[in-house]
Amino acid sequence: MSPYEALYERQCRTPLCWNETSERKLLDSEIVQAIVDKVNIIRAKLKAAQDRQKSYADVRRKDLKFEVSDRIFLRLSPWKGVVRFGKRGKLSPRYIGPYEIYISDPSHVLETPEIEFKDDLSYEEQSVQILGREEKRLRNKIIALVKVL
């Protein structure tokens, strides 16, 4: 018994065996080749349609460039069931702002240390200092929480 028959309790009806389910005979190699050719034609047409739609979308897509003192709105991505900014549903805001772009002081930008990866793309985390310990009690167990710098 094949896995398909075990799962669906009937015989598999592929394009190669679309006769009655009781009959299962392999068709001529010419018919199999004709089916493969049709599948390749369908794939080529789907690829052409996707490329055409992508070219239409790429024409409308452009990189955004902002100047200092420009005013912008930030778009909010909808979260189902989350109330943000005091409204919910259709009346929740789609954009927030306006915000003004200004030159920021680069002193607040943090430098990221280089991370050395092993051959299996894993790395060792090195903790600097333990800032605090806490235990969270649930009904059946206790979870130890450690705050690490």
What is the 3 state secondary structure string of the chain? CCHHHHHHCCCCCCCCCCCCCCCCCCCCHHHHHHHHHHHHHHHHHHHHHHHHHHHHHHHHCCCCCCCCCCEEEEECCCCCCCCECCECHHHCCCEEEEEECCCCCHHHCCCCCCCCCCCCCCCCCCCCCEEEEEEEECCCCEEEEEEEC
Reported as a single tens digit per residue, the pLDDT across 44-93 is 999 999 999 999 998 888 888 888 888 998 887 766 666 666 666 777 77
Confidence of residue 18 (pLDDT cuts 50, 70, 90): low
Reported as a single tens digit per residue, the pLDDT across 99-134 is 888 877 777 777 877 888 888 888 887 777 888 999
